[in-house]
Structure 1
Amino acid sequence: MPRTITAFSNPLIKRIRLLRDKRHRREEGLFLAEGLRIATEAREAGVLPAYLFFGPDTARHPLAAVLIAETEAAGGEAIETTIDILSKLSGKDNPGAIVGVYREFETPLAALDRGRAPLWLAAERLRDPGNLGTILRTADAVGAGGLILIDDCVDPFSVEAVRASMGALFTVPITRTRWEDFLPWLRGGRGQLVALSLDTDTDYQAPAYAAPTFLLTGNEAQGLPPAYAAECDLRVKMPMLGKADSLNAAVATAVMAYEVLNQFRRRPPA
């Protein structure tokens, strides 16, 4: 049976509010996800929250009722609270009806099965949580095997990145690693490393991509370090016919991912 919390001074509320800070997320191993849609996507992926906060009358919604029941059945805690407290937890003036608190998860590099999908996405020093969330959505949409975050990328469990992923955080395996570990792992098996780069004359539609293809997107402002780009099997770019010299990192990743996907659809990977 859900309990009710209406006081900002409640110790649990104070503790959960701190999860908006990266350091506290790491200490607790927990993160926030706001909204019934994202919580439902998580439930359908087999992930239930440790704590589920919901507003007045939310339990009447059929999806929310199922989520509350399954959270409690799995040993989590469902808590009815006020809109003001939900706003403080989510950091939004108009919060969703639900805020879930989930245990962090990720897949170690050594545990990745590169044969599970013909296409993988990777990002190096990605700094914008909106870009990270969008790339996760792209990875889900194209059926990528996972997203590999290289070096010091933005935290995928930040409130902003989780929100931007629209639930894809729970459906796409995430791995965090360093370049000096990623490259030997990649070269230890099959895999074509393809960099999105402005420093090349190779049009992105020209090569015949080989599975598994690992698409590598660099930092939004600086791109890939030259030493990293030099290690890639291919460097490709998209034609820019207007005044802009490049696309947003997440947009470029999506365009490139669909080019590889469409090649594999026309020519199934061996």
Structure 2
Amino acid sequence: MREITGFSNPLVKQVRSLRDKKHRRAEGKFLAEGLRILTEALDAAVAPEMLWRTPDSAGHPLVQRLEAAAGETFVTSADILSKLSGKDNPGSVVGVFAEFPTPLEALDRGKADIWIVAQALRDPGNLGTILRTGDAVGAGGLILIDDCTDPFSVEAVRASMGAIFTQSVSMARWPEFMAWLRSGPGQLVGTSLNTTTDYQAARYDAPTFILVGNEAQGLPADYEAACDLLVKMPMRGKADSLNAAVATAVMAYEVLNQRRRSGGLERYA
């Protein structure tokens, strides 16, 4: 255990740099902040390489558990934790973790009946929320298509509320994903305004891959054409679409509920 009190400490600067994508990629590491998220990581058998905590958190049993698992522990002030996390009111702990994206070919599509696929997603809050939804419905993971926001950014990790540690995260270009998808079972269901099929009227076959598009533009036309099924949600007001993360949650729970009604997912009963 080491105590660090100065903002100018080289290690503080190094850890703070992980808030930037280029440094995360160079180091292969990312930041997670808050006792709940770090505890979720431990529960998923992922320990921080570094644990940063405030002096007054020493006696907390969860902090003690984190210290026992962490590679190194650093005691510092709340002000320095704020500098590390970029949050005005940081939690009592910040962890540094090794990035762990899952190669597409390593995914086991048979481990879950629901998978989420996001194309050109730009907002880290949406990405983190989609991860959290995936965890809630027991999805196998999130596959990011084309140029998406970084799933290991501070904002995405925070929005995931720990689901970054429970969901497999893969990244691929569209042709690579389609080749992998068509090499085995899987129904690709796209959300689109260019269809008359109501999302509750459709039948979803396992494993279902729910495909959502960019927040502003939706799915490209050729991506929609490659889907096994396109569905849309009724819009009764002036808005013509839902937020990407909200639409994903609505879709995921519809697929889950169909499985529950048919008895296909006994573990959710």
Q: Partner residue of 1:246?
A: 241
Task: Report Cα offsets for 1:38-92 as digits up to 9, x if no partner.
Answer: 0000011000111100012111111111111221xxxx00110011110100101
Alignment of 1:176-195 (within 5 A): 176-195=171-190
Alignment partners' CA distance in 2, 1:185 and 1:37: 35
The SS at the match of 1:53 is strand
Answer yes or no: is the 8 Å Cα contact 2:188–2:208 preserved in 1.
yes
The SS at the match of 2:58 is helix
Query: Is 1:23 paired with 2:28?
Result: no
Q: Partner residue of 1:68?
A: 67
Task: Report Cα offsets for 1:88-138 as digits up to 9, x if no partner.
Answer: 001011111000000000110001111111110010000000000000000
Answer yes or no: is the 8 Å Cα contact 1:210–1:269 preserved in 2.
no
Q: Partner residue of 1:231?
A: 226
AA aligned opposite 2:178: L
Alignment partners' CA distance in 2, 1:166 and 1:13: 24
The SS at the match of 2:122 is coil
Q: Partner residue of 1:59?
A: 58
Q: Which runs of 4+ in 1 moved over 6 A?
A: none
Instruction: Tell me the TM-score normalized by structure 2.
Output: 0.97
Alignment partners' CA distance in 2, 1:179 and 1:12: 39
* Counterpart among 124, 129, 135 of residue 130 in structure 2: 135
Q: Give the CA RMSD over aligned residues.
A: 0.9
AA aligned opposite 1:41: E
User: Which structure 1 segments of 5+ residues have no match?
Assistant: none
Alignment partners' CA distance in 1, 2:156 and 2:112: 24
Answer yes or no: is the 8 Å Cα contact 1:59–1:68 preserved in 2.
no
Alignment partners' CA distance in 2, 1:145 and 1:43: 19
Q: Partner residue of 1:218?
A: 213
Number of positions where the alignment pairs a residue of Structure 1 with one of Structure 2: 265
CA positional deviation for 1:221: 0.2
Q: How many percent identity over aligned positions?
A: 69
* Counterpart among 91, 116, 120 of residue 115 in structure 2: 120
Q: Select between 52-61 and 152-161 the one with higher mean Cα deviation.
A: 52-61
Answer yes or no: is the 8 Å Cα contact 1:53–1:81 preserved in 2.
yes
Query: Is 1:96 paired with 2:95?
Result: no
AA aligned opposite 1:19: L
Instruction: Tell me the TM-score normalized by structure 1.
Output: 0.97
Q: Partner residue of 2:48?
A: 49
Q: Partner residue of 1:261?
A: 256
